Chains A and B, each alone.
Chain A
Amino acid sequence: MTEARLIQGNQACAEGALAAGCRFFAGYPITPSSEIAEHLARSLPGAGGTFVQMEDEIASLGAVIGASVGGMKAMTATSGPGFSLMQEHIGYAAMAEVPCVVVDVMRGGPSTGLPTSPSQGDVMQARWGTHGGHPAIVLAPASVAEVFELTVRAFNLAERFHTPVTVVFDEVIGHTRESVVLPDHVDIVDRRRPDGPVEGFLPKAAAADDITPLPAFGDGYRYHLTGLVYDERGFPTTDPTQTGALLERLHRKVDAYSPEIEDAETFMTEDADVIVFAYGIVARAAREAVRLAREEGVRAGLFRPVTLWPFPAKALEAAVGAARTVIAAEMNHGQMIHEVERVAASTAEIVPHLRVDGEPISPAELLAKLRERAAAQTGGRG
């Protein structure tokens, strides 16, 4: 382990990418994510990598996909308005099965919104933003250290499942500096490459585990990649059987592996009467609030999804257990709360605690909410 350093969330993201083997970055300037690009513009060339500033966010993810097809681990980073523009190519990467990492440092929206304020308004866009049904893996770090860790994981998941992986965090985590000890070694996953003969190579032939090999362009396997529905040769088809098989396989790659992908953190949920559901920076406030509530005798707990998608439903169900109330705290108008309701509404009351004014949710306001709900429960018992 190296020594502790004071680094910004955005820098931790750039360093995580480098540690994971990212050697290509294409991006477009946007607050509050630009420090990721700036850091990589300085550090990638020395690491044998390539940086390019593109003309917009559509082109940025396009170039990232092109570089990944060329065999490089590649990433882009943006914020809400740019994330909207990238949706087209997130869908392309999901369909054509091109590994890549998209980082969205969330700011207030909609539209240009609040460029320098935190928000969690993009978490549903990260799931459903591109057209058509598609699988999605979305990670939500809650600290600078975790930005590093989950950026590495994003690359590993992208390379394991040949799919785009999105990392979402808010402006506060992106811009805040924290003292962190970054590991000097991380485990790295590399995409599956074909090992059979070049002649007769069928890029999308059925694979027992649903993960088809992905050769880099230029390595001797000549094949076709397309955003159209394709057959086992990778060539466009409209055949219903082949179409269904492809779409099912794409979804299975995430659904069937969700136990491996899903991650969640719980804090004092075992005997909790009231659980706060929170992610990202809000989970940091919630953890403080839970700790303080416990000191006051309120049986509070925290459930934090680390993977927003696939949503850790089973873990949430287990954590909620006998709790009577779940406070869903988000810096948006209520997005992940729908997942919480889907999972827990039959056993617990789901209470929103939402904030859309550009200010982060504080420990104090969550503590007040925990007291209020605990008191309501006591009142209800009487």
Chain B
Amino acid sequence: MTDVRDYLREWAMPHVLCPGCAHGTILRAFLEAVKRLELDPDKLAMVAGIGCSSRLIGYVDFCTLHATHGRAPAFATGLKLARPDMTVAVVTGDGDGLAIGGNHLIHAARRNVDLTVLLLNNSIYGMTGGQAAPTSPAGSVASTAPAGTAEAPFDACKLLEGAGASFVARVMAVDPIMSTNVMVEALSHRGFSFVEVISDCPEYFGRYNALGSGAEMLAWMARKEAGVAAALANKRYVNHVPTASDTSGLATGVFHREERPVFTGLSTQAAR
């Protein structure tokens, strides 16, 4: 294997992503990690829910399970327990993984099932047309929050660390090399690994909040400003949710890593 494009189902193209969407860059970063680890495509399963991020799995030539909205961690748990010989990766989004599927995600983390979850956070529901997500910064405009959202957003990494994920990291689509490096570590980690990938949605989040094109959104991402909140603060919105990252910039990297017993299903022996 010399080129990650060999992992693609070219017959499934063209893809559904919008111009300027960074999800494709993230998929490329993941495929580079697969290549570097020399994972056997026959033994690699990707499980996804519903949303733009989840559609990525349709374009890769692995075993791909396009599940229901938010439930990919549950499907993946069953698959991994049935097929411990396979590497199972979940691709989810901020709405899919943190709203409708939030409970499944934190319980998969708590069990420490040997899964790798990529949560592509673009701060909005893209596929359904730009509705507010549990990651939309307070004050940001969405089709269901025309005057700006009044709710506080989740910090996905803190949530997952609290839930017991044994590997927690955040990367940005604007840094595909770092993304690949972290994904390699996540895929190599024994247990539940969680990688939040900051993506963009120029079509809805960018347009509704006057953040510019995809390239411009990646530019503020590159400055490591505090997520979209900082970008918004420079415009006309105020982030009402003070967080530590507001002053130091949006942190990236591996935040948490521990070795703890991996759940492989109830067995006649206690957990190792």
Are A and B in contact, CB atoms below 8 Å, in the complex? yes
Q: Which residues of A contact B (CB under 8 A)?
A: 24, 26, 41, 44-46, 50-52, 54-56, 58-60, 62-72, 74, 88-89, 92, 216-220, 222-228, 233, 235-236
Assess whether B58 is in contact with A235, with CB atoms less than 8 Å apart. Answer: yes
Assess whether A45 is in contact with B267, with CB atoms less than 8 Å apart. Answer: yes
Q: Which residues of B contact A (CB under 8 A)?
A: 9, 11-12, 41-43, 45, 47, 57-58, 61-68, 71, 73-83, 85-86, 103-104, 107, 111, 263-268
Contact of B74 among A59, A74, A227, A233 (CB under 8 A): A59
A60 to B268, CA, bound (A): 21
Assess whether B265 is in contact with A55, with CB atoms less than 8 Å apart. Answer: no
Q: Which residue of B lies closest to A63 (CB)?
A: B78
Assess whether B78 is in contact with A88, with CB atoms less than 8 Å apart. Answer: no
Q: Could you name 5 residue pairs across A and B whose Cβ atoms are closer than 8 Å?
A: A50-B81, A56-B103, A63-B77, A218-B86, A227-B66
Using A24-B82, A67-B82, A220-B42 as known contacts, say yes or no to A58 and B74 having CB atoms under 8 A apart.
yes
Contact of B71 among A50, A89, A233 (CB under 8 A): A89
B115 → A minimal CB distance (Å): 11
Assess whether B107 is in contact with A71, with CB atoms less than 8 Å apart. Answer: no
Q: Which residue of B lies closest to A220 (CB)?
A: B42
A45 to chain B: which residues have CB within 8 Å?
Answer: 265-268
Using A44-B266, A52-B265, A222-B63 as known contacts, say yes or no to A62 and B83 having CB atoms under 8 A apart.
no
Assess whether B65 is in contact with A218, with CB atoms less than 8 Å apart. Answer: no
Assess whether B43 is in contact with A218, with CB atoms less than 8 Å apart. Answer: yes
Assess whether B85 is in contact with A228, with CB atoms less than 8 Å apart. Answer: no
Assess whether B67 is in contact with A227, with CB atoms less than 8 Å apart. Answer: yes
Contact of B107 among A55, A88, A89 (CB under 8 A): A55
A7 to B231, CA, bound (A): 66
Contact of B65 among A44, A66, A88, A89 (CB under 8 A): A66
A226 to B266, CA, bound (A): 29
Q: Which residue of A lies closest to B79 (CB)?
A: A66
Using A50-B265, A92-B68 as known contacts, say yes or no to A222 and B62 having CB atoms under 8 A apart.
yes
Assess whether A59 is in contact with B67, with CB atoms less than 8 Å apart. Answer: no
Assess whether B103 is in contact with A55, with CB atoms less than 8 Å apart. Answer: yes
Contact of A66 among B41, B42, B82 (CB under 8 A): B82
Assess whether A88 is in contact with B68, with CB atoms less than 8 Å apart. Answer: yes
Assess whether A217 is in contact with B268, with CB atoms less than 8 Å apart. Answer: no
A14 → B minimal CB distance (Å): 14
Assess whether A69 is in contact with B65, with CB atoms less than 8 Å apart. Answer: yes
Assess whether B66 is in contact with A67, with CB atoms less than 8 Å apart. Answer: no
B9 to chain A: which residues have CB within 8 Å?
Answer: 224, 235
A16 to B42, CA, bound (A): 33
A46 to B265, CA, bound (A): 12
Q: Which residue of B lies closest to A219 (CB)?
A: B42
A63 to chain B: which residues have CB within 8 Å?
Answer: 74-75, 77-78, 81
Q: Which residue of A lies closest to B107 (CB)?
A: A55
A223 to chain B: which residues have CB within 8 Å?
Answer: 63-64
A132 to B196, CA, bound (A): 34
A71 to B268, CA, bound (A): 22
Assess whether B104 is in contact with A222, with CB atoms less than 8 Å apart. Answer: no
Nearest 4 pairs of A and B residues by beta carbon: A66-B78, A70-B82, A62-B74, A63-B78
Assess whether B66 is in contact with A59, with CB atoms less than 8 Å apart. Answer: no
A252 to B153, CA, bound (A): 47
A179 to B179, CA, bound (A): 62
B67 to chain A: which residues have CB within 8 Å?
Answer: 62, 65-66, 92, 227
Assess whether A70 is in contact with B83, with CB atoms less than 8 Å apart. Answer: yes
Using A62-B68, A71-B83, A223-B63 as known contacts, say yes or no to A51 and B12 having CB atoms under 8 A apart.
no
